[in-house]
Amino acid sequence: MPDTSLTRRAALGAATVGAATLGATQAMAQAETRKTFVLVHGAWHGGWCWRRVADILESHGHKVYAQSLTGNGDRSHLLSKDVILDTHIADIVNLVTWEDLDGICLVAHSYGGWPASGALEKIHDRVASIVWLDAFKPENGQRGTDFASEFSRKALEEAVAKGEPGRKGPPAKTFSFSAKDYAWIDSKLTLQPNGVAVQPIVLTGKRETVAKKTYIRAPKYPQAAFDKALAESKADPTWQTFVNEDTGHDVMIDQPQWLADVLLKVS
């Protein structure tokens, strides 16, 4: 009579080995396709604004970093007159360096285009793709005050006159079409450091050396600098562009699924 228990044990052992091998193969495949995103927020915001997009990207197995820049969001306690553009550039550079990140997709929203452009001067070799989301595309020597809205410029002047290190931003409805989120957004907005807007940026063209570049425009938010950046990107074959007419400036809050889909497509 055959030893059926041995046969069953052998079959179970083979199945276990097979499952382990399959699992290892799937893990290796996932690791090879896993992407790393570094998301940079805009003025008055913080890493919190990316949560919905980050959740979607992470649900697909990708790694996401969405830090708050010094003086903003959960790091608002660090706001001081010493916070300048170089501080925010260092925030991004240090994150990428200390976390040993490579082959990343760097996503910059609005003001985030300034420090992200500056950071690329040092980390461009670690960046596989960039996405400028309704963001500034500064040129060498320019400063934030060159493009500030009348509201922002007045707020900056008043804050400086009072000796305050930061200025208050506009209400949530300025950034978002999602009325149900206004109270939440308003509760999270923090003062924007004044120093980041007055320091000229130093660029040598490293941003343009990144292989994959994307510009996304939400034209319902009025900003001539973004319109100019979109036109320039459309005219440059090394950039691809997207336009979303159905969202406010805070695309990551208004349409997180749409944005996540685009990021996965272009990264």
What phi and psi, each to the nearest 5 degrees, are found at residue 239?
Answer: -110, 145
Catalytic choice (68, 110, 117, 176) = 110
Cβ burial, residue 111 (10 Å; 0-12/13-18/19+): buried
DSSP string over 81-120: TT--HHHHHHHHHHHHHHTT--SEEEEEEGGGHHHHHHHH
Task: Using the structure block, give the residue that is written with the tokens 């305050």.
Answer: 164
Cα(224)–Cα(123) distance, rounded to whole angstroms? 29
- Note if 110 is an active site residue: yes
**Nearest one of 81, 58, 40 to 167, comparing CA atoms:** 81
Which residues form the catalytic set? 110
